[in-house]
Amino acid sequence: MLKKNLVCIVCPNGCDVEVLLEEGQKTEILAIDGCTCDKGKEWVAQELTRPMRTIASGIPVEDGDFKLVSVRTDAPIPLGKIFEVMAVIKEKRVTAPVAIGDILIPSPAGTDCNIIATRNVAFTG
Ligand code: SF4
């Protein structure tokens, strides 16, 4: 049996959480103490069994009024996929115009997310 301490990041309350778990082939959560809501309990369970993260980055733009467009994942991705996804983003180049919400990279590294633009970049030629 193992004890882990986490800080829940779901909301600004940042509850301190203590978890008792059994780590075998599959992590089994025996008890969660300190979560004050069900959303927090769901996050703790996911964090210990399949942690997920979102990514924000930038992609170079040609012929635009900005040289870089800010981007993010439109859904969380498995923590273990972050470096692969960042490598795909690093290789990408786009040409203006770009609009907020445009999908610039669909399913990077085989994930279930898309990389979308989070700013507009106008064409300047
Ligand atoms: S346990 Fe609930 S109240 Fe506490 S930080 Fe997480 S989401 Fe917020």
**Residue of the nearest CA to atom 7 in ligand 1?**
40
**Residue of the nearest CA to atom 4 in ligand 1?**
15
User: Hunting for tokens 């203006």 — which residue is that?
Assistant: 96
Statement to judge: residues 60 and 110 lie in one domain: yes
Instruction: Give pLDDT tens digits for 47-74.
Output: 998 999 999 999 999 999 999 999 999 9
In the Cβ-directed half-sphere of 10, how many Cα atoms lie within 13 Å? Answer: 18
pLDDT of residue 125: 80
Over the chain (125 residues), the average pLDDT of each successive run of 10 is 94 96 87 95 92 96 97 96 98 98 98 97 94
Statement to judge: residues 83 and 46 lie in one domain: no
- Pick the atom of ligand 1 nearest to 35's CA: 1
pTM for the full model? 0.81
- Asked whether residue 124 is domain-assigned, the answer is no
pLDDT of residue 47: 92
Q: How far apart are CA 108 and CA 35, in angstroms?
A: 34
Statement to judge: residues 110 and 65 lie in one domain: yes
Tell me how far CA of residue 79 lies from CA of 15, 47, 48, 106, 121, in angstroms.
Answer: 22, 10, 11, 18, 30
